[in-house]
Structure 1
Amino acid sequence: MATGAQFGGPPPTPPAGDAGNNFLSGLLDVPVDAEGAKRVNDGAQQFKALAQNGGFAINEEGLQRYRTVCDTFIDGYSDIKADLLALGQAAKMGNSAYAKEVATFNVKVAVSDPESLVPNLELLIDGFKQVKEALTIARKNYSETEDTHSQTFAKLRGGE
């Protein structure tokens, strides 16, 4: 289902003022597979570039709400990171060849290949950090636009 909030490849051209909203609306649909984590990270990079190029702005209330979402994800990961890294140690499951094979497989699934859990969570965390940076830039864009409009209205009223 294409919603305009998809990531990867060239993004569709959204209506004016809608690009940031499209990305943010898909932010909570967080995949944990390698492809999904990469899409979110790539989308976050595009989102940041959009903000850097003045492609969207956000007011203080919006900034705080989205920042809370990002912080919740980032802080939640920080809280469990040590537990997740412990998954990188093979569990003592017995001395049989099968037990050793299962323990090795469990480590691989958790931490030791591009499809494993921990590297993909770290990629998602990087994406959320980039989103926070984009939001800060977008807030600055909003302030600058607001200042410009205030100056324009002051001139129209005969001030300055």
Structure 2
Amino acid sequence: MSESGEPVHSVASAITNAVGSPEHDGAKHMLGEAQAGRWAVDEETGTHLRSAISHAHGQLDALNARIELLRRAPKLGNDAYARQVAEHMRAAMDSDAQSLVPVFKALLEGLDNLQQALEVAMRNYDAADEAATQYLGRFKD
């Protein structure tokens, strides 16, 4: 608990709430909104957002090989205590939905969903713009 009495949220919790968790997935919600036609974005804004998402995805992809190493227990030795410590270290990285490895995977998936949502939203904007142009064109004559 923080000094104000509010629960303290972990970084993992904040990340999964933003882009991907079974309970709350903002990127999937945005994709659903775009697919339903309730979200649109113009080409210029969409281009900037697409670039930012691609940059973030590229940086995370570079870390992916290292993240995969965290799924394995480190080699600390063959005695029972070393194996127990190694398993504990592995479990700390990949034991539940709030562990680093699943959060990282959810972040990558969330970026993919966000990219798809953006593409749909850009098409929505273009379609709405075309419809408005056609409608207003009737008043031209």
Shorter-chain TM-score tier: 0.7 to 0.9
| TM-superposed deviation, 1:36 | 4.2
Q: Which runs of 5+ in 2 are unaligned?
A: 1-9
Q: Is the 8 A contact 1:44 1:127 kept in 2?
A: yes
- 1:127 partner letter: G
Answering whether residue 74 of structure 2 is matched by residue 74 of structure 1, we say no
Cα deviation, residue 144, structure 1: 0.7
Alignment pair present for 1:153 and 2:121: no
Give CA deviations for 1:100-141 in whole Å, capped at 9, x if unaligned: 333222211223433321111111111111111111111111
Q: Which runs of 5+ in 1 are unaligned?
A: 1-30
Report the number of matched residues.
128
1:105 to 82, 88, 109: 88
Higher alpha-carbon deviation: 92-101 or 138-147: 92-101
Asked if 1 retains the 8 angstrom alpha-carbon contact of 2:94 and 2:101, the reply is yes
Pair 1:37-2:16 in alignment: yes
Which residue of the partner structure matches residue 144 of structure 1? 127
Give the CA RMSD over aligned residues.
Answer: 2.1
| CA distance, structure 2, for counterparts of residue 80 and residue 40 of structure 1 | 18
Equivalent residue letter for 1:130: N
* Contact 1:32–1:121 (Cα < 8 Å) also in 2: no
- Change in 2 beyond 3 A, CA 1:32/1:128: farther
Contact 1:32 1:117 (C-alpha < 8 Å) held by counterparts: no
The TM-score normalised by the length of structure 2 is 0.78
- Contact in 2 for aligned 1:91/1:103 (Cα 8 Å): yes
Report how far residue 65 of structure 1 moved: 1.3
- 1:88 counterpart = 2:67: no
Matched residues in 2 for 1:47 and 1:58: separation?
12
The 5-angstrom pairing of residues 105-144 of structure 1 reads: 105-144=88-127
1:47-62 alignment to 2 at 5 Å?
Answer: 47-62=30-45
* Larger RCO (alpha carbons 8 Å, 6+ apart): 2
Identity %: 29
Shift of 1:146: 0.8
Question: How much does 1:54 deviate?
Answer: 1.1
Q: Which moved more, 1:86-95 or 1:140-149?
A: 86-95
- Tell me which residue corresponds to 1:9: none
